[in-house]
Amino acid sequence: MPKDANPDQRAPTRSYNDRLFIELIRKAGRMSKAELTRASGLSAQSGTVIVNRLVNEGLLRAGTLVKGKVGQPSTPYSLDPDGALSIGVKVGRRSLEVVSMAFDYTIIQRTVRRYEFPHLETVRQDLMTAISELLEALSAYQRKRVVGIGIAQPDDLSAWEETVGAPEGAMADWALADLSGALNARFNLPVSMLNDASAACLAEIAVGNRARHDSFAYFYVGTFIGGGIALGGRLYNGRHNLAGAFASVPKGTVKNGIAPQLLEGTSLHHLEAQALAVGVPMGSFYNSTTPESKPKEIFNKWLEEAAPQIAFAAICAQAVIDPDAIVIDSSLSPPLTLDLVDAVETAIASLYDKRGLAQVKVVAGENGAAARAIGSGILPFLPQFGLEPA
C-alpha cells in the first residue's frame, strides 16, 4: 500500500459500510437509498442511517426527487465535491505538476513547472509556492476539508543524472531527500507517497477503465517506462512496493553477456535524444496535433524498437497474472499513444508464441499525461475513504 509519511496525523478510519456507500456512489455517479441498500445487502434502516450521516457530514448531497413509474419517488445521492479535498503532487524527471482535487476526483486547479532536470532545492521551493497558491485559491470551507497531500515520484531520482542530462552530482541530494517531511512541516497535513507509474495505474483504476476491467497490467510510457498492477479493482503494490516495475523486465535479448532492461530503448528519453540529434523539437511528440513528417518518421523508428519489447513484457505479465487486459498509456499526444497501442498489439499478434495463454487484450489508458498527477491527488483520500484503507 502507499507509504504514509505521518500516520499519527491520519483521521480515524471510517466504518466499512460508510466507505462501501461512498465507493458505490463514486462508481455509479448517483444512487438512491433503495439502490444503496440493495447493492450493499444492508437493511433499509441501516442504509438510511448511513446516508443521513454522510449527508450531515457534508460528504453526500441529495439530488432532485425522481418520480418513477412504479413505487414511491426516490432521491438520488451523489458525492459532494467539497466534502473532502486533496493536494496532489507529481514530481517528474522533466516537470513538476501540482493539483487541487475535489472529492469526486475532478481537478479543481492545476499548476505545472518545467525544468531540464529535477534540482531538489528548486523543486522544493516551487512545490511550496504552488501548494500555497492552490490552497489560497480555495474557499475557507474547502481549505478545512483538505485531507492530505499525495506525492507521485519516481524511485531513486538520484540514480538518473546521466540519463536526464543533469550535471554530475546535481541530483545526488535526492538520495537523502525528505520531501514528504518538509511538506508535512510546512502545511501540517498528512503526506503519502507512491511511485509515479503506480500512481498513474491508480488513476486508471479510479477514473479511467471505462470497460471495467477487474484486473489489468498497466504500462505507462513516460521519460522512463513504468507500470502498475490492478487486481480485483485495487492497486497491488507487492511486498516491497515494486509490483509492476516493468522498467526492470529483461528485454529478452542478450548483449555482452547480460540482458538489458526494458527501460533501455522503450522510454521516451530515447525518442527525445533521437529527435534532438536531428534538430526536431521534443514538443512535436506531446502536442495534440499529428506530428509533421520528420517527427513522425523519428517516432516510427523509435516505435519499431519499442513496441516489440513492450509486447514481450506484456506477454510476461499475461503469463504471470492472467489479467483481463493490458493497458498502455503515455505522456505522448493521444494520437501517438494510440499508434503505440496498435504497434504493441500487432507485435503481440505477430511475433510471439502465445500457446497456453488467454487472449491478450491490449487497450489504451484514458488519462494520458495527466495520469500521474491524478493518481497523486487520489492518494490522500484512500486512508479515510478507500474501500480498503491504505
pLDDT greater at residue 135 or residue 239 = 135
pLDDT band at 283 (very low <50, low <70, confident <90, very high): confident
pLDDT of residue 385: 95
Average pLDDT over residues 381-389: 85
Question: What residues contact residue 48 under an 8 Å CB cut-off, 6+ apart?
Answer: 33
At residue 7, the pLDDT reads: 44
The confidence band for 390, taking pLDDT boundaries of 50, 70 and 90, is very low
Lowest mean per-residue pLDDT among 15-24, 238-247, 359-368: 238-247
Whether the pLDDT of residue 12 is over 90: the answer is no
Per-residue confidence (pLDDT) for residue 71, from 0 to 100:
64
Mean pLDDT of all residues belonging to the chain: 91
Report percent pLDDT > 70 for the chain: 93
Mean pLDDT of 41-63: 96
Question: What CATH architecture does domain 209-366 belong to?
Answer: 2-Layer Sandwich (3.30)
Mean pLDDT of 123-142: 97
- Which residues belong to CATH 3.30.420.40 in the chain? 85-199+373-385, 209-366
pLDDT per residue as tens digits for the range 264-282: 889 998 898 899 899 988 8
Domain with CATH 1.10.10.10 in the chain: 3-79
**Mean pLDDT to the nearest integer, 223-242:** 93
**Above pLDDT 90, what percent of the chain?**
74
Contact indicator for 213, 323 with CB cutoff of 8 Å: yes
pLDDT value, residue 246: 92
Residue 11's pLDDT is what? 56
Q: What is the pLDDT of residue 290?
A: 67
Kindly state the average pLDDT of the residues 352-370. 94
Residue 250 has pLDDT above 90, yes or no: no
Judged by average pLDDT, the poorest of 31-40, 117-126, 153-162, 379-388 is 153-162
Residue 53: which residues within 8 A CB-CB, separation 6 or more? 18
pLDDT of residue 281: 86
Residues 297 and 299: their CA atoms lie apart, in Å, by: 5
The reported pLDDT for the residue numbered 98 is: 98
Mean pLDDT, range 22-37, rounded to an integer: 95
Answer whether 213's CB lies under 8 Å from 372's CB: no
CATH of 3-79, one of 1.10.10.10, 3.40.50.10420, 3.40.50.2300, 1.10.3720.10: 1.10.10.10
- Taking residues 249-258, report their average pLDDT: 76
Q: Compute the average pLDDT of residues 296-305.
A: 94
For 345-371, what is the mean pLDDT? 95
CATH class, domain 85-199+373-385, is alpha beta
d(CA 100, CA 380): 11
> Which of the pair, 247 or 389, is modelled with greater confidence?
247
Q: Quick check: 2 pLDDT over 70?
A: no
190-229 pLDDT per residue, tens? 999 999 999 999 999 999 999 999 999 999 999 889 999 9
Q: Is the pLDDT of residue 321 over 80?
A: yes
Q: Report the C-alpha gap between 92 and 153 in whole angstroms.
A: 6
**83-102 average pLDDT score:** 96
CB 213, CB 230: distance < 8 Å: yes
Q: How far apart are CA 92 and CA 118, in angstroms?
A: 7
Alpha helices in 15-119 (DSSP H): 16-28, 33-40, 44-56
Residue 126 burial by Cβ neighbours in a 10 Å radius (0-12, 13-18, 19+):
middle
pLDDT for 85: 98
DSSP string covering 323-353: -SEEEEEESS-HHHHHHHHHHHHHHHHHH--
Helices 44-56, 33-40: axis angle to 10 degrees equals 120
Cell of 117: 532536470
